[in-house]
Amino acid sequence: MKTAALLPFSLALLATCTNAFAGSTLDRVIEKGELRGVLMESYPPFSFLNEQNQLDGFDVDVAKAVAQRLGVKLKLQTPSWDVIAAGRWSGRYDICVCSMTPSKARAEVFDFPVEYYQSPAVIVVNAQDTTIASGKDLSAKKVGVGSASTYEAYLNKDLVIEGATDKPLQYPFENVQIAPYDNETVAFQDLALGSGVRLDAMVTNLITARERIAHDPRFKIAGDPLYAEPNVVAIEKGDPQWSAKVTEVIGELKADGTLSKISQKWIGADISQ
């Protein structure tokens, strides 16, 4: 009897608690005055720890600009890429301005409101290498990539870029020995040991590759880009209000030249258009 008497009150309390956490991501961000962004810690020039041990880079500045436009503070977190790309964040993070490519597989757990830059995927080899000059030369080679990255999917020949089904990717190589890394810095360190020691090559972003090569002559780019990747802002799936607001904010940052200035600062060219 006591249980029955308390049941309506318990249901009312549950409903109150549920309503307290209801609402869109935008409502939560504005109410808390905080935008929780997520990105990689070692992906220069997009995101990295600077000499003051603070996060810096292209993606960091874009995320800061989004937060500023929303009138809130930015809180950045850097879990592993596996965690970021797996999605299903359950409210832990609000937004990923983290150089994500919109693949068909990722579209199952993410919405991609807007593209904010494009970049080609390229092959990087040890500067002394003479065996790899194009994509077809990756056949039977051991190639390093970021774990759970689109580059890994590409080498597996099963990458489908969301929204680009009319542009099928070309796979000029036979089977590749894929070596996934949680951190590209470690992959570059292995490649620096010499061709064939731990790695024969890497597949990564052209801009990232140029940044590494500019500071380390032990590497070079081999051949032409393999394909071009759109890079998008990613959010948890199923929040149209938040999706519309992110699209609006990035559109404003493009229109007023903010993205262009950030791009020129970090890349030396405008990759936002």
- What pTM value is reported for the model? 0.79
Across the chain, what does the average pLDDT equal? 90
- pLDDT tens-place string over residues 20-77: 333 489 999 999 999 999 999 999 999 999 999 999 999 999 999 999 999 999 999 9
Asked if the model's pLDDT at residue 87 lies above 50, the reply is: yes
Strands 73-77 and 34-38: parallel
Task: Tell me if 24-118+230-267 shares its fold with 119-229.
Answer: yes
Nearest to 239 by CA among 38, 17, 24, 95: 24
The predicted structure's pLDDT at residue 269:
83
Q: Which fold has domain 119-229?
A: D-Maltodextrin-Binding Protein; domain 2 (3.40.190)
Confidence of residue 100 (pLDDT cuts 50, 70, 90): very high
Look up residue 60 and give its two tokens: 């960091």
Distance CA 75, CA 5 (A): 45
- Where are the domains positioned within the chain? 24-118+230-267, 119-229
Question: Sign of the CA dihedral 125, 170, 157, 162?
Answer: positive
Percent of the residues in the chain that have a pLDDT greater than 90, as a whole number = 81
Superfamily (CATH) of domain 24-118+230-267:
Periplasmic binding protein-like II (3.40.190.10)
Work out the average pLDDT over 114-124: 94
Banded pLDDT at 3 (limits 50, 70, 90): very low
Residue 16 has pLDDT above 70, yes or no: no
Tokens of 116: 């904010």
